[in-house]
Amino acid sequence: LRDPEWGTEMGRLLLNGVITESMYAAGKRWAEQAAKYQGVIGIFPVKSSSAEGGSWGHEPDPDSPKGQEIVGKDCEAMERYFEAEAVLVGCGAGVRVTVRRVCEDGEVPGGYSEVMALRIGLLRLAAHWGLTNERK
């Protein structure tokens, strides 16, 4: 239990048996993809030392080979996020919001209905990403 991850709400839910390991993995993956998406659109700027260009800190020209590589990675990150978000939207009312609050913000689910919404969303994401043993 020395890993700081276990101090998170998702870690607590896993340790208490509220979510399964595949749901936990889906929640972590959702949080990572959401953070990448937010970095791409500039909500929470993510600076990479490889893209900063030394001490100047300017983004490379989008028409340059390095710029095209970054644009391509950004587009891929956005598409992966949109696909996963569509899975959550298809789960019904409240699921997307609950998954975002718990996985991204570390909030505690507020009652049984939110726990169920979280479980539904994470289970569907786990199936979407192939994190379960179940076949699609």
Tens of pLDDT, residues 14-50: 989 999 999 999 999 999 999 988 888 877 544 444 4
pTM, 2 dp: 0.77
d(C-alpha 5, C-alpha 132), whole Å: 21
d(C-alpha 103, C-alpha 110), whole Å: 14
Closest by CA to 37, choosing from 70, 79, 86, 89, is: 79
- In the structure encoding, which two tokens stand for residue 128, read together? 């979407």
- In the structure encoding, which two tokens stand for residue 29, read together? 């993956």
pLDDT of residue 134: 53
